[in-house]
Amino acid sequence: MTEQNTRSGIALMLFTTFVFACQDALSRHLAGTYNVWMVVMIRYWFFAAFVLVIARRNAGSIRAAAKTRQPLIQSFRGALLALEVCVMVLGFTYLGIIESQAVFICYPLIIAALSGPVLGEKVGWRRWSAIGVGFIGVMVILQPGIGVFAPAAILPLISAVMFAGYGLANRYVARKDSAATSFFWTGTVGAAVMTVIGIWFWEPMIASDWAWMSLLCVTGVLGHFTLIKAYELAEASAVQPFAYFQLAFGAMVAIPVFGETIRLNVALGAALIIGAGLFTFWRERHQR
């Protein structure tokens, strides 16, 4: 892996986080008018079509991409990601993008905490300390002991737990299946699950919002494509820390477009989470 490839991978990851921040803004806009289930369902239809094209190109055929010895866990992870997206979009509508993302970015710490009991990986005291600091950051953001705690405040935390479960499932299936196979199951199962649920919540959409929906689908596909390319060019441990820039890009969109603000406790909590997350990435890379 050359230094130039690593730099290109980091640049692509930064671009990806910007695209995903735009996707979050589009999701919040549409979910504020239409049912979340329907919005995510249409997004997944477009994503599934993209997955089929990529799977065929990388695996040689759709049948080859679909071949797996662990269909149950592949189906579980595909369904889990689709439902996680719904929970996160709900968080955007109730809490806004900034606060939702500030809590959601703790998911690498949840993966680190569960990698021991779930995957049998060794987690030393340094990483456990970082995990503890990160969750203090989550509590600083949520402020559960101050005033009346809003139940909606835990939506991004639930989303983070679900995404961490998806991440752990990715590591598990990667022991036997290729990335093309996992990507195929992610898109097709997710689209199937969202169709079964979302079709019951269909409602008419005006022409201008179909334009926004089309843009949402395009940003979703573009973001996943550039994310794949980033991981192809550089090691995950090199590019993953730059995913935290999504919080900054999200704020750059949410503040002028939706009038959101960055409260002091959110900034402090996010700083603790990011610092702890960067330390866990560094420890994993150092140990390897």
61 located within any domain: yes
Instruction: Tell me if 189 is assigned to some domain.
Output: yes
Q: Say if 17 falls within a structural domain.
A: yes
In percent, the amount of the chain with pLDDT more than 90 equals 41
- Residue 135 domain-assigned? no
Total domains in the chain come to 1
* Of the ranges 96-105, 121-130, 275-284, the best mean pLDDT one: 96-105
Q: Is the pLDDT assigned to residue 190 strictly greater than 70?
A: yes
pLDDT of 230 over the 60 cut: yes
Residue by residue, DSSP assigns the chain as: --HHHHHHHHHHHHHHHHHHHHHHHHHHHHHTTS-HHHHHHHHHHHHHHHHHHHHHHHHSSHHHHH--S-HHHHHHHHHHHHHHHHHHHHHHHHH-HHHHHHHHTTHHHHHHHHHHHHH-----HHHHHHHHHHHHHHHHHH-TTSSSPPGGGGHHHHHHHHHHHHHHHHHHHTTTS-HHHHHHHHHHHHHHHHHHHHGGG-----HHHHHHHHHHHHHHHHHHHHHHHHHHHS-HHHHGGGGGHHHHHHHHHHHHHH-----HHHHHHHHHHHHHHHHHHHHHHHH-
Q: Stretch 73-82: mean pLDDT, rounded?
A: 94
Q: What is the pLDDT of residues 113-172, one digit of tens each?
A: 887 777 676 767 677 788 788 888 888 888 765 544 567 788 999 999 999 899 888 888
Please give the pLDDT value at position 231: 77
pLDDT band at 39 (very low <50, low <70, confident <90, very high): very high
Mean pLDDT value across residues 213-219: 94
- pLDDT of 209 > 90? The answer is yes
Q: Does residue 248 belong to any structural domain of this protein?
A: yes
Question: For 5-32, how does the pLDDT look when each residue is reduced to its tens digit (9 = 90+)?
Answer: 778 888 888 899 999 999 999 999 999 9
pLDDT band of residue 237 (cuts 50, 70, 90) is: low
pLDDT at 223 over 60: yes
Q: Is 59 domain-assigned?
A: yes
Write out the residue range of the structural domain in which residue 186 sits.
3-106+151-261
Say which residue, 209 or 140, is predicted with more confidence: 209
Judged against a pLDDT cut of 90, whether residue 85 lies above it is answered with yes
What local confidence, expressed as pLDDT, does residue 277 receive? 82
- Chain segment 170-183, per-residue pLDDT in tens: 888 888 888 888 88
246 located within any domain: yes
The answer to whether residue 48 scores a pLDDT higher than 50 is yes
- Predicted pLDDT at 148: 45
Residue 34 belongs to some domain of the structure: yes
Output the pLDDT for position 62.
84
